[in-house]
Amino acid sequence: MPAPFPAELRNQDLTEIPGAGRTIALTFDAGANAAGLPKILSALSAKGVAATFFLTGNWAANNPDGVRQIVSAGHRVGNHSMTHPGFTGLSDAEIVAQVRRAEEAILAAGADPRPLFRFPFGERDARTISAVNDLGYAAVRWSVDTLGWKGTSGGVTAGIVSDRIMAALQPGGIVLMHIGSNPDDGTTLDADALPQVIDGVRAAGYGFATLDALLGR
């Protein structure tokens, strides 16, 4: 079992890494397809950056090779529920099932998501945060959403993705990006923008960390 998360992270849905200085965390949610993963892993490898990937259990079960590639490249994995439902409408028992089933599926694919959790849609309240805490997970939100998931059909471009991140740069910031393609236009704007993002963040004097920085390790 991994070490429990620090007590000071309880009852929070964290939007930044406290005390991180000029460091940010790139995070990627995976709940749809894996279309952007090769480009994302290639860019992270080429630039020497480690990131954190929040996986649904369904995604892990459907993409075991992808999970192995993420882990073998030295990235961190977190829990993003089994089937990506909104949590505030779930019963306590359904929350337990969503978190534990995802944990089992991710472990079966070769990664350990504990103790990092991200709520689907960012939908949470005091009850649901407490529930995932009781299951051994710290809840992690974000400080900026790139909106790359909206795709070109939603009026977004790779340039807009990069600009949103740069405009929101802050010490300990947590960037939300996505692995999957837009279902309407097939674009993977977060993956497309990633090399430019990494270069721009470094040029602004920032470095990168995985969300293990929250855990003191």
Q: Show which residues are catalytic.
A: 29, 178
What single letter denotes the amino acid at residue 110?
A: G
Q: What SS3 class is residue 92?
A: helix
Please state, in angstroms and rounded to a whole number, the distance separating the CA atoms of residues 20 and 165: 17
DSSP string, 161-177: HHHHHHHT--TTBEEEE
CA 4 vs. chain centroid, Å, equals: 19
Please state, in angstroms and rounded to a whole number, the distance separating the CA atoms of residues 79 and 102: 7
DSSP state of 78: E
